[in-house]
């Protein structure tokens, strides 16, 4: 028989259940992220070329252009060996070269704006723009398609690639305590941007070159000076 008392206990039980669930969730997100695990995930995403557009003619990833030790020609400080970086060519845009070569990403975490024209205001924005941009073979207007592909690669991954230790599903669970299947594409892309940005922020120079020592010894300002229009010489 359903009486008032059993309805009351049912309501109480549901309330208690919801409260416990809520606190468990909040606690899980508040738990501190293990930096080493996060950096491993970030570096793995940095060198994964499966996010490239299938309509391009070259595989591409951050580490294809921002090279460190992977090229037989020698080590680079996350730059490439080209005058202009190579981008995947598309039927609708058959260029091979980007607008310039890949600059170093050392100390990029401290830059107030990124890219030559200040296109991005944060590393997170840069990662999202690049994963869906021309450097990975995507055309303007294909952002959604690019993000779907990234999400699918993560879901289907079976610990592929040389930096892989476990499938992405397990690695995201370990680092962020999330189930990739339960996340939306956008939530997943936000976490990818977080992991890759953390990795890039960890790449720092020692600031011990003769130039750095000169600046430190003389207490000079390291910020760029204001342009003085009177010092710009007329052309010709
Ligand atoms: C096809 C080559 C290529 C790929 C792939 C590529 N980059 Fe770049 N990267 C460049 C070039 C070229 C620039 C300079 C663009 C500009 O200044 O307009 C750049 C600029 C940057 C900068 C800014 C440096 C500065 O001084 O402003 C960062 C940080 C960066 N890339 C990180 C990444 C990350 C992270 C990825 C992967 C998600 C990536 N790049 C993929 C070629 C590439």
pLDDT at 223: 75
Contact criterion met (CB below 8 Å) for 155 and 105 = no
Distance CA 122, CA 5 (A): 57
pLDDT at 196: 98
pLDDT at 222: 78
Q: Where are the domains of the chain?
A: 35-201
Distance CA 37, CA 221 (A): 36
Q: What is the pLDDT along the chain (236 residues), one digit of tens a residue?
A: 557 676 777 666 666 666 555 655 555 555 689 999 999 999 999 999 999 999 999 999 999 999 998 888 888 999 999 999 999 999 999 999 999 999 999 999 999 999 999 999 999 999 999 999 999 999 999 999 999 999 999 999 999 988 999 999 999 999 999 999 999 999 999 999 999 999 999 999 998 999 999 999 999 987 777 766 666 666 65
Distance CA 104, CA 102 (A): 7
Q: What is the residue with the minimal CA distance to atom 2 of ligand 1?
A: 65
pLDDT at 221: 85
Asked whether 102 lines ligand 1 (CB < 6 A), one says: yes
pLDDT at 70: 84
Asked whether 98 lines ligand 1 (CB < 6 A), one says: yes
pLDDT at 105: 97
Q: Is 141 left (phi over 0), alpha (psi -120 to 50) or beta?
A: left
Contact criterion met (CB below 8 Å) for 43 and 199 = yes
Asked whether 192 lines ligand 1 (CB < 6 A), one says: no
**CATH homologous superfamily of domain 35-201?**
Cytochrome c-like domain (1.10.760.10)
For a mutational test of ligand 1's pocket, the pick from 71, 97, 135, 194, i.e. the residue with the most ligand atoms closer than 8 A to its C-beta, is 135
Distance from CA of residue 235 to its chain's centroid?
Answer: 42
Q: List the structure tokens of 82.
A: 């080209």
pLDDT at 134: 96
131 CA: nearest ligand 1 atom: 38
Count of CB atoms situated within 10 Å of the CB of 28: 11
Distance CA 37, CA 147 (A): 23
Distance CA 55, CA 150 (A): 15
pLDDT at 27: 52
Distance CA 44, CA 118 (A): 26
CA-closest candidate to residue 194, choices 6, 22, 46:
46
For a mutational test of ligand 1's pocket, the pick from 50, 58, 115, i.e. the residue with the most ligand atoms closer than 8 A to its C-beta, is 115
């Amino acid at each position: 028989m359903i009486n008032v008392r059993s309805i009351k206990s049912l309501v109480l039980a549901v309330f208690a259940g919801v409260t416990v669930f809520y606190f468990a969730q909040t606690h899980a997100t508040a738990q501190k992220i293990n930096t080493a695990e996060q950096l491993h995930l970030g570096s793995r995403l940095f060198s994964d070329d499966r996010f490239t557009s299938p309509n391009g003619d070259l595989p591409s990833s951050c580490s294809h252009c921002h090279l460190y030790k992977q090229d037989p020609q020698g080590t680079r400080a996350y730059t490439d060996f080209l005058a202009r970086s190579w981008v995947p060519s598309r039927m609708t845009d058959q260029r091979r070269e980007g607008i310039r070569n890949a600059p170093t990403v050392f100390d990029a975490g401290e830059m107030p704006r990124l890219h030559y024209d200040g296109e991005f205001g944060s590393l997170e924005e840069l990662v999202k723009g690049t994963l869906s941009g021309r450097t990975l073979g995507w055309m303007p207007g294909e952002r959604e398609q690019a993000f779907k592909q990234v999400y699918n690669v993560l879901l289907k991954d079976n610990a592929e690639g040389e930096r892989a230790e476990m499938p992405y599903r397990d690695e995201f669970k370990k680092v962020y305590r999330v189930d990739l299947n339960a996340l939306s594409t956008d939530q997943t892309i936000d976490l990818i941007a977080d992991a890759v940005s953390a990795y890039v922020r960890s790449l720092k120079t020692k600031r011990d070159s003769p130039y750095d020592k000169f600046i430190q010894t003389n207490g000079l300002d390291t910020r760029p000076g204001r342009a003085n229009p009177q010092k710009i010489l007329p052309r010709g």
